[in-house]
Homo-oligomer: A and B are copies of this chain.
Amino acid sequence: MTQIEAYIAEHEQRFLEDLKGWLRIPSISTLPEYAADVRRAAEYAAGQLRSIGLDNVRLIETKGHPLVYGEWLKAAGRPTLLIYGHYDVQPVDPIELWQTPPFEPTIRGENLYCRGACDDKGQTMLVFKALEALITTEGGLPVNVRVLIEGEEEAGGESIEHYVRSYPERLTCDAAFICDTHMPAPDLPALISGLRGIIYTEVEARGAVRDLHSGTYGGIAPNPFHALALIIAGLKDARGHIHIPGLYDHQREAPAQEQRFWQEDPLHLAETLREEMGVAQLSGEPEYPPLQRIWARPTLEIHGFVGGFSGEGAKTVIPANGKVKISMRIPPDLGLKAEEVYRLFERRVKELAPPDVEVTVRKIHAGEGVLVSPEASVIRAASAALKETYGREPVFIREGGSIPIAALFNDILQVPIVFMGFGLPDDNLHSPNEKYSLKQFFRGVRTVARFLQLYGAGA
């Protein structure tokens, strides 16, 4: 047992007490009546960072809830790691489904139950404790760190985005570490190697100058919803293939290791998703493995239509105009920025539009994907740390959705991102009876401490 491991083992109870104190503060960021609690939780985090021995610890005021910042920049010649977490939590409804009060941390069996136990106070606290263990036993950290904790992750994250975009020079670093994800199974360490980006659009078709009666005009009137259906059918076929010229022109091959994982799906992730959906067969491009389809292939989804008659019964109207919400997920391997995909999409929509309607395309929002190279030194360090703690190589998985903070760090700070979290699939995030595995918590402390050592040593 190393000196650090001994320190961690010796202080387990206090670590848990420090976490419980934080968990008792109901820092629900979306509900205005909890604003004072949210601030108390920020102050609690700042107190932790000070007691660990970080410098320059402070609350950064924003238009919303404060950010918490601290740094330790005394490891000359060593890389700097930006550590991210969040101290706000989800609401607790439906409260009657909680077995114990949502803000009373309770240990049952091998788990600690409380809102935020995992997401993200538990995961953030284990990083704090790794820093404490290193500073206390070694007199300092093996790398430089900046810690930036936000209080609006569950409420849109506007303040941190504004801060990162406004002051990137205050966050200079060589890599970012986000401890807010989970592992696919208790003994299976994982690192996230990619996130898809997104464009979210609204396509509008306009026909006549006013709504028309289908009896009088049916046969000579433009029908905007029919036009939208033709456009959609032209964009994606029944087998999930997207027909947008240029979309695949810059596609890059994923690393062989990932491709093998997608093909083999040793964790049966696709089967789990199929069961969750309650469908007999998975949809989508049949020639690609399901994991590739959700992680590394572009998608095009219809979310809903706006306008026309959508009430009960019948109304014989040919609507003057109609809109449809369409988004695309953009895997980072595609080699295109979100804006580039948007332009290809817009061009294709206009090309598919029947001549009797006027079609406009509007971008509602867009976000870049993130690709993490397994070869980056920070990833190799995280991977090696996980292997030491869990006794096996981590798998590289992806997220099909976006994590806005990751895209932000990637985009503005231009650094590789380590997504290494210790949550488990049954942690009930955002649901009643959220919990965190105590074993995962302490394994997490050891893993993160080891990760920083290896990263500092240039592993």
Contacts and interface: CB of A to CB of B under 8 A. Distances in A.
Nearest to A401: B215
Interface stretch (A53-61, A298-306, A338-346): A298-306
Interface residues of A, number: 80
Given A198-B316, A218-B329, A313-B364, A308 B305 contact: yes
A299 to B, nearest CB: 4
Interface of A: 196, 198, 200, 207-210, 212-223, 225-230, 232-234, 236-238, 240, 270, 273-274, 277-279, 281-285, 290, 293-295, 297, 299, 301-310, 313-319, 322, 324-325, 327, 329, 354-356, 364-365, 399-402
B290 A238 contact: no
B302 A225 contact: yes
Contacts of A293: 219-220
Given A226-B232, A229-B229, A310-B306, A277 B212 contact: yes
Given A225-B305, A304-B309, A306-B310, 6 more contacts: A214-B299, A218-B329, A226-B302, A229-B229, A302-B308, A303-B318
A308 B310 CA distance: 11
A215 B198 CA distance: 9
A294 B364 contact: no
A216 B305 contact: no
Nearest to A227: B238
A228 to B, nearest CB: 7
A43 B237 CA distance: 63
Nearest to A309: B304
Contacts of A270: 220
